[in-house]
Amino acid sequence: MTSFYFEDLSERYNSELDDLRTDSENRNVLARRLQEKRQCLKDLLPLIEEAPEMVAPALHGAYTFNDRRILDRAANATPGLGRFPRWAEVEKTLDIEPWARPLIEMCLRNADGEAFLTTTAVLEWMLTEDIRKPDSTFHVDEENEDDTEDLGEAGESWMAEQGFDTPDR
C-alpha cells in the first residue's frame, strides 16, 4: 500500500514515461527524449512542486536500490509531512549513475529539491518493483486451474450438511 500522494503521482509518472517512449510513427525514442529532459532540467525545475512527474523523467534510470525499507517508508508518506525521509537518508541507500550527479546537485539548489529527489527515487523504485504486490505469491494449482466445476458439488455437500435433501442426478 502507498500513500494517496504516491498512488496518484506514480500513475502520472508512468503515463509521462509512456508518452516519452514513442513518437508519432510508434518508434522508440525514449533515450533521446530523456536526454532532452536532462539537458533542459534547469528550465523544468520550477515545476518540481506542482508537476514533479514532468521533471522526474530526467532522473529515470539513475538509481539502483539497496534498501527497500526506507523506500517503503517514503512511499507510505507525503513530502513535508511526518515520516517522509530526507534525501541524504535515501541517498545513502542508492547507487547513483555518474551522469545523474550534476542533475542531483542542480536539484539540491532548489528549495524543494530534497523532497523532489526523494520523490524521484520512490517513483523509480515503484516503477521497477511492483510494490503493490503482497509478499506472498499467488499459487495456481496447475492440475486444476478451473475450480468452477467443484462449486456445484460443494454447494450440494453444504446443503446436505444443513439437512436438505440432495438432488438426484
DSSP string, 66-129: --HHHHHHHHTS-TTSTTPPPHHHHHTTEEE-GGGHHHHHHHHTSTTHHHHHHHHHHHHHHHHS
Count of positions (residues) in the chain: 169
Average pLDDT for residues 70-79, to the nearest whole number? 92
Angle of helix 4-21 versus helix 113-128 axis, rounded to 10: 70
Q: How confident is the model at residue 129 (pLDDT cuts 50, 70, 90)?
A: confident
Contacting residues for 122 by C-beta, under 8 A, at least 6 apart: 6, 71, 74, 75
Return d(Cα 160, Cα 154) in angstroms, integer.
Answer: 10
Question: 122 with 71: CB under 8 angstroms?
Answer: yes
For the stretch 17-63, pLDDT in tens is 999 999 999 999 999 999 999 999 999 999 999 999 999 999 999 99
* Cα dihedral across residues 121, 124, 125, 130: positive or negative: positive
Average pLDDT for residues 152-158, to the nearest whole number? 64
Contacting residues for 47 by C-beta, under 8 A, at least 6 apart: 54, 55
Return d(Cα 23, Cα 25) in angstroms, integer.
Answer: 5
Residue 150 grid cell: 467443484
Question: pTM of the full predicted structure?
Answer: 0.75
The domain limits of the chain are 4-128
Average pLDDT for residues 116-132, to the nearest whole number? 86
Angle of helix 4-21 versus helix 30-39 axis, rounded to 10: 110
Report whether pLDDT(137) > 60: no
